[in-house]
């Protein structure tokens, strides 16, 4: 079982320890559904639930993201051991590898002794936040016949669901009460580990976010909460990327990168099978390294020849006398930015992703 988090082992350990208090742990669901009822072996398209953050948010207002948010203490409560079946013996993994196969950097603290492990609590966070933000409840009834590691998930209709949503928004611990009183539990077994992104040095608020893929057979009517979220839509990766390129949507690097990665799949079924089998391998921790140049920002990702494993992770490097092209190398895994937060172009050359993952698609000249 891969529920442990690694400790930092390289020379800048003390630096990261000092900065740990600035980081918050978060969890997100990339929720996908079939976009057509037409059965086609070659093309079985899918859509993704996309959420626009409200303009009143202090962090990334009006940006489009996937459902998710920060962890709460109740997400790791030992009370979940009486709610989630076989909670302590789950074979769900949270296997995160660091740069070049080294141990992953530990930016957030472990769960308290006696709490459920991170491999479960982060999935609880993702499911709770999805419910708060969209009204979609990814839970199962107790004694359900479905396997605990089923590839797909369902929305569970319960009595007074709108009232429960408000209660959970007000206090995260009410999610435990929701499950207890409705004889259900978070469907943690249907969330497949996909990626781990850490906040770019360009942003002051720092998050260590685990992304999970979940598949729902048919789309569910999602509704914004009117506070944190202002709009909910189901879109194909191409639709979202087209709107981003046209300036109608704002995306930060993780969402942009993952949409490009998902664009490699034309089949809901094939993607479901890939995510279900690949997730056991874990994923690579990605902390972007940012360089400000004369003609824009360069974001280097692990595997790029110019990416280095040092304290430079945590701050923007200024090379204002150089151009973007001056940093070209034999192996490239990077993005260009025309503005601080908005990715403009992804560049991949001779890079092989770790953990059996798939490369993002390349958009020629930023066209869809």
Q: Identify the DSSP state of 7.
A: P
Q: In this predicted structure, what is the pLDDT of residue 105?
A: 87
Contacts of 106 (CB under 8 A, 6+ apart): 5, 6, 7, 8, 16, 20
Tokens of 19: 């900065």
Taking residues 172-188, what's their average pLDDT? 97
Q: What six digits make up the tokens of 264? A: 């490699």
pLDDT digit string, tens, across residues 271-295: 999 999 999 999 999 989 999 999 9
Instruction: Select from 361, 351, 359, 356 the least CA-distant residue to 275.
Output: 356
CA distances from 70 to 180, 206, 209, 235 (A): 23, 11, 8, 24
CA–CA separation, 247 vs 61, rounded Å?
15
Mean pLDDT of 166-179: 97
Handedness of CA 106, 111, 113, 116 (dihedral sign): negative
pLDDT band at 19, cuts 50/70/90? low
Please state, in angstroms and as integers, the Cα–Cα distance from residue 61 to each residue in 56, 244, 329, following that order. Answer: 6, 15, 35
- Whole-number pLDDT of residue 224: 83
What's the pLDDT at 149? 55
Confidence bin at 60 (pLDDT 50/70/90): confident
* 147 or 341: which leads in pLDDT: 341
- The mean-pLDDT minimum among 10-19, 98-107, 251-260 falls in 10-19
- Confidence label for 239 from pLDDT (cuts 50, 70 and 90): very high
Is the separation of the CB atoms in 255 and 237 below 8 Å? no
pLDDT, tens only, 70-109: 999 999 999 999 999 877 666 688 999 998 888 888 889 8
**15: pLDDT confidence band, cut at 50, 70 and 90?**
very low
Q: Given a cut of 90, is residue 161 above it in pLDDT?
A: yes
How confident is the model at residue 311, as a pLDDT? 63
Average pLDDT, the chain: 86
Residue 88 has what pLDDT? 64
Over residues 123-149, the pLDDT tens digits come to 999 999 999 999 999 999 998 765 555
- The pLDDT of residue 18 is above 80: no
The size of the chain, in residues, is 368
Average pLDDT over every residue of 227-244: 89
Specify the pLDDT at position 367.
Answer: 46
- Would you state the torsion angle of the CA atoms of residues 264, 268, 272, 274, taken in this order, to the nearest 10 degrees? -30
Q: Is 163 helix (H, G, I), strand (E, B) or coil?
A: helix
- Torsion angle (degrees, nearest 10) of CA 171, 177, 179, 181: -140
Cα separation, 115 vs 302, whole angstroms: 32
Residue 36 tokens read as 């057509």
pLDDT of residue 230: 77
Distance of CA 103 to the CA centre of its chain: 20
pLDDT of residue 87: 72
């Amino acid at each position: 079982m891969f529920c442990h988090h690694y400790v930092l082992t390289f020379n800048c350990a003390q630096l990261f320890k000092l900065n740990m208090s600035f980081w918050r742990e978060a969890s997100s669901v990339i929720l996908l559904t079939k976009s057509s009822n037409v059965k086609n072996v070659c093309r079985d398209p899918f859509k993704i639930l996309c959420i626009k953050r409200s303009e009143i948010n202090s962090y990334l207002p009006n940006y489009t993201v996937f459902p998710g948010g920060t962890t709460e203490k109740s997400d790791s409560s030992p009370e979940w051991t009486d709610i989630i079946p076989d909670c302590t013996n789950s074979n769900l993994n949270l296997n995160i590898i660091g740069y070049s196969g080294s141990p992953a950097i530990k930016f957030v603290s472990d769960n308290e002794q006696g709490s459920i492990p991170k491999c479960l609590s982060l999935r609880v966070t993702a499911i709770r936040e999805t419910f708060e933000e969209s009204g979609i409840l990814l839970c199962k009834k107790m004694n359900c016949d479905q396997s605990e590691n089923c590839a797909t998930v369902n929305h569970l209709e319960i009595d007074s669901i709108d009232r429960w949503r408000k209660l959970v928004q007000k206090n995260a611990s009410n999610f435990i009460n929701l499950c207890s009183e409705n004889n259900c539990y978070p469907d943690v077994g249907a969330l497949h580990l996909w990626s781990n992104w850490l906040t770019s040095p360009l942003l002051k608020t720092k998050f260590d976010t685990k992304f999970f893929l979940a598949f729902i057979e048919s789309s569910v009517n999602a509704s914004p909460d009117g506070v944190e979220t202002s709009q909910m839509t189901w879109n194909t990766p191409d639709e979202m990327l087209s709107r981003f390129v046209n300036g109608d949507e704002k995306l930060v690097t993780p969402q942009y990168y993952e949409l490009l990665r998902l664009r490699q799949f034309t089949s809901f079924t094939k993607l479901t099978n890939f995510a279900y089998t690949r997730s056991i391998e874990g994923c690579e921790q990605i902390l972007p390294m940012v360089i400000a140049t004369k003609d824009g920002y360069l974001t280097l990702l692990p595997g790029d020849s110019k990416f280095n494993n040092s304290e430079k992770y945590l701050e923007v490097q200024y090379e204002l006398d150089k151009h973007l092209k001056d940093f070209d190398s034999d192996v490239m895994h990077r993005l260009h930015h025309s503005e601080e937060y908005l990715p403009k172009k992804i560049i991949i050359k001779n890079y092989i992703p770790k953990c059996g993952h798939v490369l993002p698609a390349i958009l020629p000249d930023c066209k869809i």
